């Protein structure tokens, strides 16, 4: 699975978890008549929103990606691209499990889903520029990064392969004229 695709799916899943948990919080707190939880949740979500926007700036994204990209193993051929859905599930199941558990507990204790929604919102916003940072490096260097299969409980390991950009002229330069026979 492409590393950019994994980052994109992670952000979408975190955003979906934040939305679902926020909805569970509001529904559960309203049904329990708990307005204090709604006000505290709104404050926490505002703090998470601001922190996520600050942590997700493009400069911070490039810094965050530096170590994982420089430690990528170089390969001359594309890795096995069996099933990207299975690869994404193998890496992202903790995030899905978190959303299910926090949502289930939030039906009884709305504060749990409120905290979970803020955390998921913070994560989605903090990671929003990482995919763009990796894509920019791939475009600049003419390479592609793929995720090595592994456990979600281990750090991500990447494979660096030559990209398909090698035969294109640099930006701003016209392509060479076609060969005549």
pLDDT (tens digit per residue) in 87-109: 888 899 999 999 999 999 999 99
Give the pTM.
Answer: 0.83
Q: What is the mean pLDDT of the chain?
A: 88
Select, from the ranges 67-81, 93-107, 135-149, 167-181, the one with the highest average predicted confidence (pLDDT): 93-107
Residue 170: the pLDDT is 56
For residues 70 and 141, the answer to whether their CB atoms sit within 8 Å is: no
Is the confidence at residue 166, as pLDDT, over 70? no
Half-sphere exposure of 162 (CA within 13 A, CB side): 6
Residue 115: the pLDDT is 97
Confidence of residue 1 (pLDDT cuts 50, 70, 90): confident
The mean per-residue pLDDT over the stretch 119-144 comes to 92
Residue 104: the pLDDT is 96
Residue 61: the pLDDT is 87
How far apart CA 156 and CA 150 sit, in angstroms, is: 8
How far apart CA 135 and CA 59 sit, in angstroms, is: 14
Is the confidence at residue 42, as pLDDT, over 60? yes
Is the confidence at residue 86, as pLDDT, over 60? yes
Confidence of residue 82 (pLDDT cuts 50, 70, 90): confident
The larger pLDDT score, comparing residue 69 to residue 78, is at 69
Q: If 0-12 CB within 10 Å is exposed, 13-18 middle and 19+ buried, where does residue 67 land?
A: exposed
Is the confidence at residue 129, as pLDDT, over 90? yes
């Amino acid at each position: 699975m492409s590393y950019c695709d994994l980052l994109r799916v992670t952000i979408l899943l975190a955003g979906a978890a934040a939305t679902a948990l926020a909805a569970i919080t509001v529904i559960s707190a309203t049904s329990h008549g708990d307005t204090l939880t709604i006000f505290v949740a709104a404050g926490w979500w505002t703090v998470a929103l601001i922190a996520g926007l600050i942590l997700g700036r493009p400069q911070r994204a490039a810094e965050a990606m530096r170590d994982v990209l420089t430690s990528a193993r170089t390969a001359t051929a594309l890795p096995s691209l069996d099933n990207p859905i299975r690869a994404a599930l193998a890496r992202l199941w903790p995030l899905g499990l978190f959303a299910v558990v926090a949502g289930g507990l939030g039906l009884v204790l709305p504060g749990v889903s409120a905290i979970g929604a803020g955390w998921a919102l913070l994560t989605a916003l903090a990671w929003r520029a990482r995919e763009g940072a990796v894509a920019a490096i791939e475009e600049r260097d003419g390479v592609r990064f793929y995720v090595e299969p592994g456990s979600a409980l281990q750090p991500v390991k990447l494979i660096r392969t030559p990209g398909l950009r090698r035969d294109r002229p640099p930006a701003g330069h016209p392509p060479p004229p076609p060969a005549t026979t």
